[in-house]
Amino acid sequence: MEIENVRYAWYALRVRSRHENTVASHLQARGYESFLPVYESQRRWSDRVKEIELPLFPGYVFCQFNPLNRLPILSVPGIVHVVGVGKTPVAVDEAEIAALQAAVRSGLPRQPWPFVEIGHRVRIEHGPLRGVEGILLGFRGHQRLVLSVTLLQRSLAVQVDEAWVLPMPDERRPCSGPVTSDARSWQPTA
C-alpha cells in the first residue's frame, strides 16, 4: 500500500489565557505542526527593563490537523476549543497563514494591530516579504503592512520600506467624488 502525504488546513485554536507557549509545545511534542506568531516587547519592572516575547494573537495558536479527528487536539492541556461555526471547525485562509509566517520569518519589527478592512491594498515586491499582500498604512512616519486573519478579526502590522511596495489594482471601484456635468446631463432616449 502507498501512504499519501496529506497536508491539512490550518485551524485556529482558542487557548486559555497565557497558555499559548505551553499549547504550542504540547502540539509539537504530539507531532502536529503548530504556529504561534510572537513579537518582542519591552517590559519595565521596578529594577530593570526586559525584552520579552508575547503572542501577536493572544489566546490563539494555529495548528494543522484533520478536522474529522480533533479529539487528540482537544485533549491538549490549555485548549478551549477549535474556532469555527457552532461545532464545525472553520479553516484559516492559507494565504493569510502564509503571510503571517513570512512576516515572522522576516525578522522585521511587528506588533499587534487593530483589525482593518479599508486602506490601500499592496503587494510587497522586494525584501524578505516579497510576494506578501496586505494593507499599507502610515504610522508615526513609518510604513506598515497590515496582515489580517479574517476568521479571528485580528491583525498585525509589519514595518516595511516604502520602496518595497507596489499598489495593487482595486477590483472594487466604489462610486465616490463629485458627479460630473456629463453624468448630470445624461437623459435616457425614448
Asked if residue 115 lies in contact with residue 156, where contact means CB atoms within 8 angstroms, the answer is no
Query: Residues of CATH 2.30.30 domain(s) within the chain?
Result: 93-171
- Residue-level pLDDT at 6: 78
pLDDT of residue 170: 62
Q: Name the class of domain 1-92.
A: alpha beta
- Counting as low any pLDDT under 50, the low residues of the chain are 1-3, 172-190
Helix (H) or strand (E) holding 166: strand 165-167
- The three-class DSSP label of residue 97 is helix
Residues in the chain: 190
pLDDT of residue 32: 96
Give the pLDDT confidence score for residue 139 in this predicted structure. 66
State the pLDDT at residue 137. 86
Residue corresponding to grid cell 519589527: 109
Is CATH 2.30.30 the right assignment for the domain spanning 93-171? yes
Among the listed residues 117, 96, 109, 99, the one whose alpha carbon sits nearest the alpha carbon of residue 160: 109
CA distance 174 to 113: 26
Confidence (pLDDT) at 114: 81
Indicate where the chain has its CATH 3.30.70.940 domain(s): 1-92
The predicted pLDDT at position 117 comes to 64
For position 26, what pLDDT does the model report?
A: 97
What is the pTM for the complete model shown?
0.77
Q: Would you state the pLDDT for residue 180?
A: 36
- Per-residue pLDDT, 5: 66
Which residues does residue 142 pair with via DSSP β-bridges, in sequence order?
A: 139
3-state secondary structure of 182: helix
Q: How many Å from the N-terminal Cα to the C-terminal Cα in the chain?
A: 73
Specify the pLDDT at position 141: 72
